[in-house]
Structure 1
């Protein structure tokens, strides 16, 4: 990731706290998933720092988990040498805001609001974005909004977008099962782009599991391209 994307990536989905272990920065996730509950390289590190970072994880009662960029062959080799194995390969995709704001969102289809409505929280919870992940949204210090999606006269989608340094990140896009594949997700992504443009961003990015081939194809259809990739590493 380039510097601006990397900074926005961390600022728009932060851990509850951070501590450094040599050249690694360890996030305390408080049950909100690997993205915030992992360690990543932020400077010069030594192999011994891996054990120090792992001990921080254990002290926070979370499993030792590292996040490594796909092109960081040195870190990947060091983790594998210590018994860590690759999990959940993830693509970071991005597109220019202008590519998503070329047509208006239909009336009463999608809205950018803050704070989230109770129905948005219910939609997130139904999609496994429970209180711990919703708490991540609450602690974001960057400009942020919750995206509400409506179809067939009812609320059926929820998403979260935040912008930092000219880059906006879309997180937690969920559509209730009975209203999927009806075009709502696309309009919600476009609404996030309109909001991001007003927030001063010129590109919109997101992270998606490579195993979710349907989601990857969906974002490609909207003009997103892969900008970077990473995976998690944990001991078996």
Structure 2
């Protein structure tokens, strides 16, 4: 498995598309012809799928931060398309839930009017059960959102820690380079001083030799004269 940011992004995107295909089939494909309890169960499954798809999008947002700037634009476009598709199916699911709730309410009201029970006890019990189911679904979605938020926060903290360590490494490298540059400058200055002294010593040595030769020449001249 490719564990690079781009490879993980592709993997999460594939999972997202697989989930969205399942949602599309339930909302716009064969599932749209379902009725009654089967339709309710299908819509509940769609809610869970959309929560999972949203988690995949969150993971894609995290991985895109590690992709090089030179190629990040194409991944940003794919992420934007995934978000748009997720939003569309969320809205469609919400609309279908509302339609189903209105249909149930109208059906309950009709049953209440046609029932011999003047207080509509069966209808009240049905609405209570439906309300309880809605509360349970809402609580579950809230727990899933909290879990995703905690995971995202943990991953964000890990990324920040890695970035901080990389920054410290770069700063240490810069300090080492600065120290090395200073040492090189000092060594260069020392070598220049040594070369200059060497040339001075050569000049002094040549002058001494010249004087000695002149003295020897003078002595020989006096003896021969």
**Does TM, scored on the shorter chain, surpass 0.5?**
no
Greater helix share, structure number: 2
Greater strand share, structure number: 1
